[in-house]
């Protein structure tokens, strides 16, 4: 197969594919020329930067392109239904980055609880604000509400239980037997918002209004902490900023934003924000697992 890699891929995985006889081309194309370029490949591997919408898919329809593969969990950057209507097979790698994203969410929880991000920033400014940041809280004994209890949510739940947190989860799909196995319970969203000290989002992008907005924030505990490593448009950033300014929310940990790179300086500069630049799956271990899963999918597809 002739495979286009637009957003980078683990080097070992590319070498493995070449060793199996596949041709790999690494190149990023601007949206207006991507569709025509895709006609020259049997498969394309993308991450987050490349967007495959109707114009690109229509331009590639009827060509040798058969497989669209997203190295990662979400498929928000691909119009999946349109791609399938054009005859393309769409795959992703949902298992590979679960631990990396869950660990980052946990890291933001610690950062928000103990002021790690803002305290470190003030020290680099030559300040010693021990009193200001000496009022942290412990995670043990607190309740973590996880919205979206798939692979990432379950991994985070197990970590939280290991440090003594109570875990509740909300999901449209209930995994049989998992409540006893992980020592957590499923609840409706209203209850989760009311009882959780920390709330972590692990859902796909939601159509319509954001899942976390002024209405849902009002139902949260006073002093709750919000963590978002899912999709930026799941949170109304204006409502979040208002909640931080009013003290309704203690803090928020963000890895994703409504606009990337984010231009909301008031949010990024807020002392109650712990922020990272969309690096949830950006660990060496995750990239190797993603690469290995890509190789497995391509090999399986090429033999059909």
Q: Is 231 a catalytic residue?
A: yes
Catalytic residue among 231, 237, 289, 293: 231
What is the C-alpha separation between 16 and 12, in angstroms, rounded? 6
Burial of residue 32 (CB within 10 Å: 0-12, 13-18, 19+) is exposed
Catalytic residue among 36, 188, 190, 260: 260
Per DSSP, what are the bridge partners of residue 9? none
Q: Is 15 a catalytic residue?
A: no
Separation of CA 263 from chain center? 19
Look at the alpha carbons of 152, 156, 158, 159 in this order and tell me if their dihedral is positive or negative. positive
Tell me how far CA of residue 144 lies from CA of 15, 45, 138, 198, 269, in angstroms.
42, 35, 12, 5, 26
Per DSSP, what are the bridge partners of residue 167? 144
Query: By the 8 A CB rule, do 255 and 269 touch?
Result: no
Query: By the 8 A CB rule, do 22 and 3 touch?
Result: yes
* Catalytic positions: 231, 260, 278
């Amino acid at each position: 197969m002739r495979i286009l890699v637009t957003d980078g891929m683990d080097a070992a995985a590319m070498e493995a594919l070449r060793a199996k006889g596949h041709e790999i081309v690494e190149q990023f194309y601007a949206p207006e020329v991507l569709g025509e370029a895709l006609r020259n490949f049997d498969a394309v591997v993308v991450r987050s930067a490349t967007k495959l919408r109707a114009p690109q898919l229509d331009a590639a329809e009827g060509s040798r392109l058969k497989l669209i593969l997203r190295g990662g969990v979400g498929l928000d950057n691909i119009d999946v239904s349109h791609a399938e209507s054009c005859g393309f097979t769409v795959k992703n790698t949902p298992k590979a980055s679960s631990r990396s994203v869950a660990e980052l969410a946990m890291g933001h929880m610690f950062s928000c609880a103990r002021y790690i991000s803002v305290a470190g920033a003030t020290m680099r400014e030559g300040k010693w604000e021990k009193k200001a940041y000496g009022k942290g809280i412990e995670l043990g004994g607190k309740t973590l509400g996880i919205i979206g209890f798939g692979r990432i949510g379950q991994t985070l739940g197990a970590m939280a239980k290991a440090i003594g947190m109570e875990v509740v989860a909300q999901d449209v799909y209930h995994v049989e037997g998992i409540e006893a196995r992980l020592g957590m319970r499923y609840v409706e969203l209203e209850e989760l918002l009311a009882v959780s000290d920390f709330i972590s989002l692990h859902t796909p992008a939601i159509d319509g209004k954001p899942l976390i907005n002024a209405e849902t924030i009002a139902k949260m505990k006073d002093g709750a902490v919000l963590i978002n490593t899912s999709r930026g448009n799941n949170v109304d950033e204006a409502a979040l900023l208002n909640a931080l300014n009013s003290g309704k929310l203690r803090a928020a940990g963000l890895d994703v934003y409504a606009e990337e790179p984010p231009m909301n300086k008031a949010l990024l500069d807020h002392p109650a924000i712990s922020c990272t630049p969309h690096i949830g799956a950006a660990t060496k271990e995750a990239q190797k697992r993603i690469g290995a899963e890509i190789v497995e999918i391509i090999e399986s597809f090429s033999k059909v």
